[in-house]
Amino acid sequence: MDATNDWSDWGFWDGRFHWTIAKACDNALMVLLFETMQASRGKTIWGKLGDSSRRNERKAEITKEHNAILDAIKQRDPDQAASRMREHLRSTRLAIFGES
């Protein structure tokens, strides 16, 4: 993800990051949910992430969040990994929908 400035390529690698985690969990429901989300990524609501005037700022935030998740996984700390993933999902929801 860090190696590209193209939003489409970046989105592909973002998806691969999440897909890799979903597959590693060996949880069929999580994989199904992920695949359903991936199928909707081209839709209008996901487009809000790509159309943002703060795109580079958001990409930096996401990179930081992904690194925190990855670090927790590397440390084999499932509670920390889950906590970091919840934070990432909250910030993504906020980026798409705004305050709720």
Q: Tell me, what's the pLDDT at 73?
A: 96
**Integer Cα distance of 81 and 13 in angstroms:** 19
Residue 21's Cβ-count burial label (10 Å; 0-12, 13-18, 19+) is middle
* pLDDT, mean of residues 7-36: 86
Q: Tell me, what's the pLDDT at 69?
A: 97
Measured distance between the N- and C-terminal CA atoms of the chain, rounded to whole angstroms: 29
pLDDT digit string, tens, across residues 33-79: 888 877 776 665 555 555 555 677 888 899 999 999 999 999 999 99
pTM: 0.79
**Integer Cα distance of 23 and 31 in angstroms:** 6
